[in-house]
């Protein structure tokens, strides 16, 4: 006989706020209340009832006027108080009184109602029998008095009810503000693994080692090894730090608590520290467990920093976090993983061994990594066979994983707009231009002269890039306005570069200044279109002199310094470590480098003036020219060119 599976009826239900209430409070069904808020509601109600009924709480037995006269004539009355038509009094000694039900009770006080007649004769009788008489003014129970007594309580109750409803809508109540907002990862709803993460193999290996320790701790403990208490993921935005943490949660098979740094902060002082304590208490109860803190820099900023001084609430939160990571009490079984793109502003006490023992750099993906990332994001997209993801990876240097995902998503949206079944190469090209330069400005009306200036400007960039030997190959040149750029020359490096020579930098400067050189050569004029070119060229030349030692005059001296952030309060006005005379020489050397690059660009264009004119005509006719045609104009058809865009904006 088959055993009937156990029903879930015996399973312990999830504990809610009502489960914690006593039975008499649970029956009240108060709106939006937990245990403490329900107790507050009862206290407020009790105080209100006590105020409204306070005077009636000590009401005595009401006697008829005839009975009162009998007791008065018998000498049993000791003291009376007159309030309008009512009379309250005390007996000289307790008396036995029979109620209408026949029950005999003992009275010490009484009340009665005076008739309209006979009041004037009552006072002499009371004085004759030695009764002490007191008179009180009539009670004013007008509406203003009633509102003054009830309105404050009504406002208090209404305010508490409104706050309770508002905070309940956000998943909390007024008495849970100091509790942790961390979310427990649910593998049933989402299951991300390291197979969903491409590139950054070194970072993945470090995190997988921590997972292995949680699964097989004896493998490391037999050699005396201890797992790092904290792991800090550092890298530019969009490189996949949070995605790696999500993959770690999917494979660790231990409780995984996730929270962002901003969730600790609140307008009330001490709330952040309370939430840190509550988070680690939950993690310790579920140990072994992992706590992931995203955007650590929001609470881990250097203490006592900033133009306006330290922030007490943030510093208290950081101090509590430091204590929980490695304080007096041991914190075993809890591994903290944090992510930030601003490690330079973190407090040094937070980064020391024992708190964050490992610092894992998650950099921008390389060529192979970009190819792998594109393949992951293309799994659920119908990509045409003509699309070469390897060439697309070569054409996206400097793109992060998030940028690549956005690129394919934009291409899918463009293909859907055309109502086709596959994402074609043209869709991806259009999406890349949109990501790099912005939307096409279709309603921009340019005069013929402006179009001619624009064509020669972009033609100057493209022609210099096509002729100089160390310049990157050209992908395409366009004069279609997009975003803030009126045109663009896209250059495609054959591979990712990590070291740059002085000769390469000089050719790069010449390409940047090729647009201005073409304007001067053809029109003997200068336009505002070269503004961004001049800024980029000046910035690059300054780094060559100050940071890289690419100067004949200064040789191997580096004048550049680390750029401290102003809001850290360390260096509001940056101090130069050289004299005014040296600064003047630096400016002269920067000018000399830029003048040299401009002369190279001018000489190159003057030598190939016919090719420049022909290229400008083609741009005016077609608006966009592929790099192969530019190379053909100067007789370099056999040169290889890649698919990666380094923009030179107008």
Nearest-angstrom CA–CA distance, 525 and 518:
9
- For 70-96, b/e burial (b = at least 16 CB within 10 A) is ebbeeebbeebebeeeebbbbbeeeee
Give the pLDDT band (50/70/90) at residue 454: very high
Residue 173, pLDDT > 60, answer no
Which pLDDT score, from 0 to 100, does residue 80 have? 87
* pLDDT digits 0-9 by tens, 267-276: 556 677 788 8
CA distances from 113 to 57, 105, 235 (A): 19, 20, 88
Which pLDDT score, from 0 to 100, does residue 42 have? 67
* pLDDT digits 0-9 by tens, 396-408: 888 888 999 999 9
Which pLDDT score, from 0 to 100, does residue 178 have? 47
Which pLDDT score, from 0 to 100, does residue 41 have? 62
Task: Answer with the residue of higher pLDDT: 95 or 444.
Answer: 95
Residue 431, pLDDT > 60, answer yes
Task: Answer with the residue of higher pLDDT: 571 or 443.
Answer: 443
The residues, any chain, with a CB within 8 Å of residue 320's CB and separated by 6 or more, are 272, 273, 276, 277
Alpha carbons within 13 angstroms on the beta-carbon side of residue 380 total 4
Tokens of 146: 């009633």
Task: Answer with the residue of higher pLDDT: 449 or 15.
Answer: 449
Task: Report which listed range, 219-223, 261-265, 529-533, is most confident.
Answer: 529-533
Mean pLDDT over all residues of the chain?
A: 79
**Residues forming a β-bridge with 184:** 257
Q: Which of 49-63, 436-450, 636-650 has the lowest mean pLDDT?
A: 636-650
Tokens of 272: 């952040």
* pLDDT digits 0-9 by tens, 113-169: 888 766 677 888 888 888 888 887 766 555 666 667 777 777 878 777 776 666 554
Work out the average pLDDT over 608-626. Answer: 91
Which pLDDT score, from 0 to 100, does residue 642 have? 38
333 with 288: CB under 8 angstroms? Answer: yes
Sign (positive/negative) of CA torsion 313, 299, 185, 231? negative
The residues, any chain, with a CB within 8 Å of residue 98's CB and separated by 6 or more, are 104
**In the chain, what percentage of residues exceed pLDDT 70?**
78
Give the pLDDT band (50/70/90) at residue 467: very high
Residues belonging to the active site: 458
Nearest-angstrom CA–CA distance, 284 and 271:
20
Give the pLDDT band (50/70/90) at residue 181: low
Does the domain at 448-561+577-649 match CATH 3.30.565.10? Answer given as no
Which pLDDT score, from 0 to 100, does residue 20 have? 46
Give the pLDDT band (50/70/90) at residue 589: very high
Quickly list H helices, 548-626. Answer: 580-607, 609-622
CA distances from 479 to 312, 476, 534 (A): 54, 10, 19
Top-level CATH class of 367-437?
mainly alpha
Task: Evaluate if pTM is beyond 0.75.
Answer: no
Which pLDDT score, from 0 to 100, does residue 182 have? 67
Q: Give, for 150, the enclosing helix (H) or strand (E).
A: helix 143-169
Task: Answer with the residue of higher pLDDT: 39 or 16.
Answer: 39
Nearest-angstrom CA–CA distance, 372 and 368:
6
What CATH number labels 183-361? 3.40.50.300
Lay out the sheet containing 624-626: strands in order across. Answer: 624-626, 474-478, 488-491, 646-649
Task: State phi, psi for 260 to the nearest 5 degrees.
Answer: -100, 155
Nearest-angstrom CA–CA distance, 32 and 157:
13
What CATH number labels 60-136? 3.30.720.210
Which pLDDT score, from 0 to 100, does residue 276 have? 83
Q: Which of 117-131, 234-248, 469-483, 491-505 has the lowest mean pLDDT?
A: 117-131
Task: Report which listed range, 18-32, 474-488, 552-566, 600-614, is most confident.
Answer: 600-614
Work out the average pLDDT over 536-561. Answer: 88
The domain limits of the chain are 60-136, 183-361, 367-437, 448-561+577-649
Work out the average pLDDT over 545-562. Answer: 83
Nearest-angstrom CA–CA distance, 347 and 435:
36
* pLDDT digits 0-9 by tens, 317-332: 888 888 888 766 666 7
Q: Which of 38-42, 73-77, 130-134, 295-299 has the lowest mean pLDDT?
A: 38-42
Lay out the sheet containing 104-113: strands in order across. Answer: 61-62, 104-113, 86-98, 77-83, 132-136
């Amino acid at each position: 006989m088959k055993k009937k599976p156990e029903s879930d009826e015996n399973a312990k239900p999830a504990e809610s706020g009502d489960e914690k209430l006593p039975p008499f409070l649970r029956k009240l069904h108060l709106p939006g209340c937990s245990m403490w808020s329900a107790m507050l509601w009862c206290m407020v109600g009790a105080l209100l009832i006590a105020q409204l009924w306070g005077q009636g709480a000590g009401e005595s037995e009401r006697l008829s006027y005839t009975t009162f006269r009998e007791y008065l004539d018998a000498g049993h009355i000791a003291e009376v108080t007159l309030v309008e038509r009512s009379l309250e009094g005390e007996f000289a000694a307790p008396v036995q009184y029979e109620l209408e039900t026949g029950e005999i009770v003992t009275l010490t006080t009484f009340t009665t109602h005076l008739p309209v007649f006979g009041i004037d004769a009552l006072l002499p009788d009371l004085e004759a029998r030695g009764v002490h008489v007191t008179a009180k003014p009539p009670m004013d129970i007008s509406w203003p008095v009633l509102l003054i007594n009830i309105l404050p309580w009504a406002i208090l109750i209404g305010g508490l009810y409104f706050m309770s409803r508002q905070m309940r809508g956000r998943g909390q109540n007024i008495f849970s503000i100091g509790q942790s907002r961390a979310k427990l990862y649910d593998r049933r709803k989402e299951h991300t693994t390291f197979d969903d993460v491409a590139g950054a193999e070194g970072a993945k290996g470090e995190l997988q080692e921590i997972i292995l320790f949680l699964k097989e701790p004896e493998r490391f403990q037999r050699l005396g090894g201890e797992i790092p208490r904290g792991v800090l993921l550092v890298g530019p935005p969009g490189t996949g730090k949070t995605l790696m943490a999500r993959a770690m949660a999917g494979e660790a098979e231990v409780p995984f608590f996730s929270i962002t740094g901003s969730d600790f902060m609140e307008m009330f002082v001490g709330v952040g520290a309370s939430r840190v304590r509550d988070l680690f208490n939950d993690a310790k109860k579920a140990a072994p467990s992992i706590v992931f803190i995203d955007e650590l820099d929001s609470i881990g900023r250097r203490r006592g920093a900033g133009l306006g001084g330290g922030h007490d609430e943030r510093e208290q939160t950081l101090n509590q976090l430091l204590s929980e990571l490695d304080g007096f009490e041991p914190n075993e079984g809890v591994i903290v993983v944090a992510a930030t793109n601003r490690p330079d502003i973190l407090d040094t006490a937070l980064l020391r061994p024992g708190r964050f023992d490992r610092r894992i750099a998650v950099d921008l993906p390389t060529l192979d990594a970009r190819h792998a990332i594109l393949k992951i994001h293309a799994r659920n997209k119908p990509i045409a066979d003509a699309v070469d993801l390897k060439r697309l990876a070569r054409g996206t240097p400097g793109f992060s994983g998030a940028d690549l995902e956005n690129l394919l998503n934009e291409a899918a949206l463009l293909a859907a707009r055309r109502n086709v079944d596959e994402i074609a190469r043209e869709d991806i090209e259009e999406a890349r231009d949109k990501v790099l330069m912005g939307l096409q400005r279709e309603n921009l009306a340019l005069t013929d002269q402006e179009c001619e200036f624009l064509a020669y400007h972009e033609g100057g960039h493209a022609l210099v890039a096509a002729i100089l030997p160390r310049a990157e190959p050209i992908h395409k040149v366009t004069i279609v306005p997009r975003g803030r750029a009126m045109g663009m020359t896209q250059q495609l490096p054959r591979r990712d570069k990590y070291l740059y020579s002085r000769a390469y930098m000089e050719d790069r400067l010449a390409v940047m200044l090729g647009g201005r050189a073409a304007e001067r050569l053809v029109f003997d004029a200068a336009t505002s279109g070269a503004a961004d070119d001049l800024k980029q060229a000046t910035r690059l030349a300054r780094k060559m002199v100050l940071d890289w030692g690419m100067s004949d005059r200064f040789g191997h001296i580096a004048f550049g310094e680390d750029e401290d952030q102003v809001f850290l309060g360390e260096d509001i006005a940056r101090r130069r470590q050289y004299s005014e005379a040296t600064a003047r020489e630096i400016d002269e050397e920067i000018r000399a480098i830029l003048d040299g690059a401009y002369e190279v660009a001018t000489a190159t264009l003057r030598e190939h003036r016919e090719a420049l004119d022909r290229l400008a005509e083609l741009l005016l006719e077609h608006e966009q020219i592929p790099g192969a045609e530019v190379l053909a104009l100067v007789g370099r058809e056999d040169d290889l060119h890649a698919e990666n865009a380094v923009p030179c904006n107008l």
